[in-house]
Amino acid sequence: MKDPLAISALQIGSLFLVAFGAAGVVSSRNPTNQAIAMSFYGLVLALMFFVFQAPDVSLSQLVVGALAMPLMILLTLGKAAARDLEKARRRKQP
């Protein structure tokens, strides 16, 4: 085998998961599906930070990426749908 690798097998695995997750987020065209994919991608990124010996960054990324980001995406989509409904209702009653 080669002389000891600078990065361990676990770290290589987490990098591949990040690449896979990024491709997954981009290929979800429907924004509602993308919010769930983004949540998973945030978790995978937090895992990568943890495996690369960065616990502070991992703490930050966990709450932001898995909780706050998908929440804001879903709320934006909800608001857009609600405004569409409001507009349709206002057009029906002149």
10 near another protein (CB under 8 A): no
**Helices in the chain by DSSP H: which ranges?**
9-27, 31-51, 55-63, 69-92
* Residue corresponding to tokens 């690798």: 5
- Comparison of 25 and 93: residue with beta carbon closer to another protein: 25
Binding mask 40-69 for another protein (x = CB under 8 A): -x---x--xx--xxxxxx-xxx-xxx-xxx
Distance, first Cα to last Cα, the chain: 78
Size of the site for another protein (CB under 8 A): 51
- Comparison of 56 and 92: residue with beta carbon closer to another protein: 56
6 near another protein (CB under 8 A): yes
- The Cβ of residue 8 has, within 10 Å, a number of other Cβ atoms equal to 12
* Contacts of 70 by beta carbon, 8 Å cutoff, 6+ apart: 35, 36, 38, 39, 42
Residues within window 14-43 making contact with another protein, judged by CB under 8 A: 15-16, 18-19, 22-23, 25-26, 28-29, 31, 34-35, 38, 41
